[in-house]
Amino acid sequence: MISINLKTVVADSVEEYTAKSILALNLARFSEWPLETFKENKTSVDLCIWGDSTIVNAFSMIDKKPVGNKSLSLRKLSDVTQLENCHLLYIGEEKRNIAGLIEESYKRHILTIGENEDFLSNGGAVYLEVADSKINLHVNVSAMEKAGVRISSRVLKLATIFNP
C-alpha cells in the first residue's frame, strides 16, 4: 500500500507556486511592452492565470504589488476571449492544447509563462522548470519577439536561452 501525506503535497505545491509567483512579478518588473498595450493611461499590469485554484491562491500574494509606476493586477481566466486585458499569462501545467492560446497572445503582446516541459517548443516565452528544489528560468527569445515584448538583459543572463 502506498501512503501519501496530502497536507505535505499541498504545502509543497503552494510553496512552489509562491516562488513562481515571485518570479512572475519580477518578470513583469523587468519586461517592456509596446506603448499601445497600455491604453488610456492604464495603471495596472495584468497577470492572467490559466490554471487551478492552487495557482491562483499562491499568486494572490503578489496582487497589487508595484511594477514600475503601475501595480500588478491578478486575473483568473476561464476563456480565451478574456485575453484582451492581459500583459502576462501564466499557464498551469494541467493545461494542454495551448497552441491557439499562445498564437492569440502574440497578437495581444502578452508575455506567456508556463510550467510544462513542452511549453517553449509550443511557442511559449518563459518556462519555469522545477529541478533539484530550485526553479530554473528558460526563455524563448523568438516567442518574446513575436509577442513584441522585451525582457531585460539582466534577466536573460540568469536564464537558459531556448532556440527552436
Grid cell in block for residue 153: 538583459
How are beta strands 31-32 and 150-151 bridged, if at all?
Answer: antiparallel
* pLDDT at 37 > cutoff 90: no
What pLDDT does residue 157 have? 95
- Give the tens place of pLDDT for each residue, 108-160: 999 999 998 889 999 999 999 998 888 999 999 999 999 999 999 999 999 99
Q: Is 45 in a helix, a strand, or coil?
A: strand
The residue ranking higher by pLDDT, 62 or 37, is: 62
pTM: predicted TM-score of the whole model, two decimal places = 0.89
Q: Residue 8: its pLDDT value, please?
A: 38
Residue labelled with grid coordinates 518563459:
126
From 121, 96, 128, 118, select the one nearest 19 (Cα to Cα).
128
Q: What's the pLDDT band for 42 if we cut at 50, 70, 90?
A: confident
Residue range 55-102, pLDDT digits in tens: 999 999 999 999 999 999 999 998 878 898 899 999 986 666 788 889
Class of the CATH domain delimited by 6-162: alpha beta
**Domain segments of the chain as ranges:** 6-162
* Cβ atoms of residues 115 and 139 within 8 Å: no
